[in-house]
Amino acid sequence: MIMFAGLDADTLGGTQRVIHTLAQGLAERGHDVHVLGLHRSADPVAYVDRPAYRKHVISRGPRPGPLARQRTARLLKGLEPGYVVMVSPGVVTRLKPLLGAHRGIGQYHGSFDHARGTWHFGQVKAHYGGLDQAVFLSPDDAWRFAAEALLPNTWDIPNPLPTWPDTTVSLWERRILGVGRLAGVKRFDRLISAFARTKEPGWELHLIGDGPDEDRLRRHAVAEGVAGRVMFRGRVPADRMPAEYRAASLVAVTSEHEGLPLVLGEAASYGVPGVAFDVSGGVRLLADVLVPPADVPGFAAALERLMRDEDERCRLGVEARQRAAGFRLEPVLDRWEQLFQHISR
């Protein structure tokens, strides 16, 4: 039995998407797979049309209710002993005392750099070391948690790409793509400011996603003088994202922090190069051009260089796709199965 457990398993987000991608992939390999959400999503998303795994929601409200611990304990006790992958520190603290005969795996979807400046670091240090395994998104993050949080059980497995396209992109469209929730941590204001500093004519910045900062970002685009060239596209369904990548020539990530951003990997699978702030080991695995964190002029210069040079974009796009091949679903599933075998020895 394999279970992926999150506070909320169905909200629109990278972690939730990964949970369902892994669950479906492992179930299709014949494993008995479960997805657990400790509470119901306020705005649920269906990530898999025909799930081959079973899904459980403990609390029907937006937060775990007073009976959530009892319900979770009964569910775990009724399943064959197996592996429970807890995808955040909050889940680990809730489920660790309830595991019983199950093997506990603590996964962390953020980066070491982000955790070090938040309460996450203390939670990971206090609770992950006593589990059977602590799993991080990159070798760099795993090594730093081992060294500074004194974890004796670190392992690294990247998040998988849900699909792999057969063809790549021509990269002649004058379009830069930004993908993510329009909320503070993604810092799309910095991307808009960097885009406004570029001088290549005819280019557009397309922002895919919705969120509470949309009005503020629209005003920011007006203030930067690029309102007519920044397109707010709203939420785009997953089955339409391939068309968005095929229409782009660059993808940009200006987040305050990231673990392993799927947008860089998905773009790379189409041969679209990415520019990103250097905020984690996961970003360093995927980005083609790294810029020091929060360096808006440097980000603008990196964008403009690639906007101007189509040959360089194509060269980087080929390299990006080659790197992204290691994040295809099948090799990532292999690594999870290797981890389960390692724990069982």
3-state helix/strand/coil string of 229-289 = CEEEEECCCHHHHHHHHHCCCEEEECCCCCCCCHHHHHHHHCCCCEEEECCCHHHHHHCCE
Domain presence at residue 231: yes
Average pLDDT, stretch 90-98?
95
What is the mean predicted confidence (pLDDT) over 4-11? 91
Q: Are 4 and 35 in contact (CB under 8 A)?
A: yes
Residue 94 is part of which domain span? 2-160+328-344
Residues 58 and 134 in one domain: yes
The pLDDT of residue 31 is 98
Residues 147, 198 share a domain: no
| pLDDT at residue 62, as a whole number | 65
pLDDT tens column, 63-79: 666 788 899 999 999 99
Residue 170 is assigned to a structural domain of this protein? no
Of 110, 162, 147, the C-alpha closest to 282 is 110
- Are 228 and 281 members of one domain? yes
Q: pLDDT for 247-288, tens place per residue?
A: 999 999 999 989 888 899 999 999 999 999 999 888 999 999
CATH code, domain with 120: 3.40.50.2000
Longest dimension (CA), the chain: 62
Residue 168 lies in a domain: no
Mean pLDDT of 168-179: 95
- Total-model pTM: 0.85
Mean pLDDT, rounded, for 4-10: 92
Taking CA atoms, 216 is separated from 40, 183, 223, 232, 275, in Å, by 29, 10, 10, 12, 24
- Please tell me what DSSP assigns to residue 209: B
pLDDT at 40 over 90: no
pLDDT at position 75 is 96
The mean pLDDT of the chain is 94
pLDDT in tens, 277-331: 999 888 999 999 999 999 999 999 999 999 999 999 999 999 999 999 999 999 9
pLDDT at 241 over 70: yes
Name the amino acid, one letter, at 102.
Answer: H
79 in any annotated domain: yes
Q: Are residues 106 and 149 in the same domain?
A: yes
Residue 167 inside a domain? The answer is no
Q: What pLDDT is attached to residue 64?
A: 65
- Determine the average pLDDT of the residues in 45-51: 89
* 193-209 mean pLDDT: 97
Portion of the chain with pLDDT greater than 70, in percent: 99
Domain tally for the chain? 2
Q: Does one domain contain both 179 and 316?
A: yes
Per mean pLDDT, which range of 11-15, 285-289, 337-341 is the poorest?
A: 11-15
